Amino acid sequence: MRYYSETVERAIHELAKLPGIGRKTAQRHVFYLLKTSAAEVDSLSQALLDLKRKVGYCSICYNITEQDPCPICRSEQRDRSTICVVEEANDVLAFEKIGEYKGLYHVLGGALSPLDGIGPDDLKIRELLARLQNDVREVIIATNPSTEGEATLFYLTKLIKPLQIKLSRIAQGIPMGADIEHADEVTLSRALDGRLPL
């Protein structure tokens, strides 16, 4: 039995397709939008349309951009001898927020996940290897500390090591402000393995 109009039901159904949004959250968003002005909903609609029409992927690093190549790849201030490999474009944003990394990026577009049918040909690995032919001295692998991220790390290591390029992985361990007693065994083990001399 349908409790809402077909239009409301369709809006809930479409919003519930977004990651992290279930039916109840979608329903709350729809009812919030019903209370807002038509101008606010039009503004949101236009922002979503512009997102699809104006934003694409950089032909060099595969980060999201409105200009190709992206501002990072075009910048003369970046260290072109270092490439940080990340899974998704939002990982680039996380690194750029801290403002310490001055090299280039390469966005894979995901991580290896055979159970989900994602293999090497589904990621931008071939494109990464092509970039490594151009005076790259170090590749920093910054995949997530998940099963898929680790599988991607090992696969990339196997491909890059023979190229005689310095290969590193971002450190992992106890986050700032966390209590050691709440850390899991894998995190504690990695923290010990990645310890730094004082």
Is there a single domain that holds both residue 82 and residue 132? yes
For 164, phi and psi rounded to 5 degrees?
A: 60, 40
The lowest-confidence range among 112-126, 152-166, 180-194 is: 180-194
Is there a single domain that holds both residue 49 and residue 131? no
The total of other beta-carbon atoms located within 10 Å of residue 60's CB is: 18
**pLDDT above 60 (res 1):** no
Give the helix ranges, DSSP H, for the chain.
6-15, 23-35, 38-54, 71-74, 89-98, 125-131, 147-160, 185-193
Is there a single domain that holds both residue 41 and residue 102? no
Query: Chain-wide mean pLDDT for the chain?
Result: 91
Is there a single domain that holds both residue 45 and residue 82? no
101 vs 75: CA distance, rounded Å: 13
What domain range is 35 assigned to? 6-54
Is there a single domain that holds both residue 87 and residue 45? no
What confidence category does residue 2 fall into, taking pLDDT thresholds of 50, 70 and 90? low
The domain spanning residue 46 has which CATH number? 1.10.8.420
Closest CA to 129 of 78, 79, 95, 165: 165
SS3 14: helix
Q: Which two tokens stand for residue 7?
A: 């239009």
For 79, phi and psi rounded to 5 degrees?
A: -80, 105
**Per-residue model confidence as pLDDT tens digits over 136-169:** 999 999 998 888 999 999 999 999 999 999 999 9
Q: Which two tokens stand for residue 2?
A: 């349908």
The domain spanning residue 142 has which CATH number? 3.40.1360.10
Question: In this structure, is residue 131 part of a structural domain?
Answer: yes
Mean pLDDT to the nearest integer, 37-42: 96
Query: How many domains, in total, are found in the chain?
Result: 2
Is there a single domain that holds both residue 46 and residue 124? no
Question: In this structure, is residue 187 part of a structural domain?
Answer: no
Question: In this structure, is residue 18 part of a structural domain?
Answer: yes
125 versus 174: the higher-pLDDT residue is 125
User: Which pLDDT belongs to residue 177?
Assistant: 75
Specify the DSSP element, H or E, that contains 169.
Answer: strand 166-169
93 vs 88: CA distance, rounded Å: 9
Is there a single domain that holds both residue 165 and residue 81? yes
**Percent of the chain at pLDDT above 90?**
78
Is there a single domain that holds both residue 43 and residue 102? no
Question: In this structure, is residue 177 part of a structural domain?
Answer: no
User: Which pLDDT belongs to residue 28?
Assistant: 97
Residue 61's identity, in one-letter code, is C
**Per-residue model confidence as pLDDT tens digits over 4-36:** 799 999 999 999 999 999 999 999 999 999 999
Question: In this structure, is residue 36 part of a structural domain?
Answer: yes
**Percent of the chain at pLDDT above 70?**
95
Contact 142, 84 (CB under 8 A): yes
